[in-house]
Amino acid sequence: MTTFRVSVHITPRRGILDPQGKAVESALHSLGFSGVSSVHVGRHIVVDTDSESADAAIESVKAMCERLLANPVIEDFEIESATAA
């Protein structure tokens, strides 16, 4: 078995109220960044897991996201990468 480091981005689904994102968007506008049209604040999670392959590690972390790490009603997740740690 090899240890793989898997990166996951979790963000609010489009259309879901994101008060933290709105606060950041407003602050950016007040700092002069008028081109910003939308901000979504999420989480970045890094999981080290033992697995037979990178694909198996990704599948395992996907199951973790579906069952615990992300709320499927209001959040989307994207697995960025799986690299040998």
Predicted confidence (pLDDT) per residue in 43-60, tens digit: 999 999 999 999 999 999
- CB of 49 within 8 A of CB of 6? yes
- Nearest residue to 10 via CA among 61, 84, 82, 52: 61
Residue 85 confidence (pLDDT): 79
CA angle at 10 for the pair 37 and 30, rounded to the nearest 5°:
30
> Domain-by-domain residue ranges, the chain?
2-84
- CB of 8 within 8 A of CB of 80? yes
- Nearest residue to 4 via CA among 77, 58, 70: 58
Percent of the chain scored above 90 by pLDDT?
A: 92
**Which residue do the tokens 């407003």 mark?**
26
Q: Report the predicted TM-score, pTM, of the whole model to 2 decimal places.
A: 0.84
CA-based radius of gyration for the chain: 16
User: Mean pLDDT throughout 58-83?
Assistant: 95
pLDDT tens per residue across span 21-45:
999 999 999 999 999 999 999 999 9
- Domain at 2-84: CATH code: 3.30.1280.10
